Amino acid sequence: MGEKPPRLFELTGGRLCLDFANTVDDRPTDRPPDRLKSYAELIAFGKETGICSEAETRDLRGAEKSNPREAARLFRSAVELRETIYGIVSALASGRSPLAKDLETLRATLHNLNEHASVVPQNGRLEWTWAGPESNASRLLWCIVRCAVNLLTSDEVELLRQCAADDCNWLFMDNSRSHNRRWCEMRTCGNRTGAYKPPRNSTGTLASSYFIIASDRGIIRRK
């Protein structure tokens, strides 16, 4: 069997909407790398996060060929939603009030996408479900915006954090016991700031389950 293709996205935010906002790397730098540069990469995000099945992914890729104008429109909407979520969460994680325009964009996006949603009984309870075509990129955006709204209107909003590394600013949920986590990933940003200490064996050398690989973020990974 062939090897699986490498993932395009780092899914470390702890919530779908945060992982989506984190599709831009190193935001404080002059030229932050954008991992979401096309409709195809939007669909790849849906696949990697499990929102889109293999069959849906194939159909959505085909939809771009049959209706490129609609695919381009959906991609623009996705980028706008990403920046809106990032703006709101970044503000809250920093102790600031979100911009009114971002809150309005989030509200309007949810309202528009909910036109294709319905509440149905399932497993003894009522649940939201997508009532539009399954092979529609709007369903992916609906899942993301609902995740954002549910998070921002819950008590978990107190756990929102922004990476303390000067060149990162990724968003994440702080589920640590003491709720004082500062880095999106200890083995990436924490390592670069000297905060990460890889485990060592009794001789004081690095444990054999760790090795260092070259990468753009100097990652120490477990293998």
Q: 41-80: per-residue pLDDT in tens?
A: 999 999 999 999 999 999 999 999 999 999 999 999 999 9
67's tokens? 């209706």
Question: Alpha carbon 205 to chain centroid distance?
Answer: 35
Q: What is the mean pLDDT of the chain?
A: 83
Q: How far is 2 from 50, CA to CA, in rounded Å?
A: 21
| CA dihedral for 53, 137, 8, 171, sign (positive or negative) | negative
CB 42 within 8 A of CB 64: no
Q: CA end-to-end span of the chain, whole Å? A: 20
Angle at CA 169, nearest 5°, toward 168 and 174? 115
Q: Residue 49: which domain range?
A: 16-176
124 is a domain residue: yes
CB 126 within 8 A of CB 152: no
* Number of domains the chain contains: 2
Task: Indicate whether 220 pLDDT > 50.
Answer: no
3-state secondary structure of 40: helix
20 is a domain residue: yes
Do 61 and 161 lie in one domain? The reply is yes
Do 197 and 96 lie in one domain? The reply is no
Do 98 and 64 lie in one domain? The reply is yes
170's tokens? 């990724």
- pTM, full prediction: 0.80
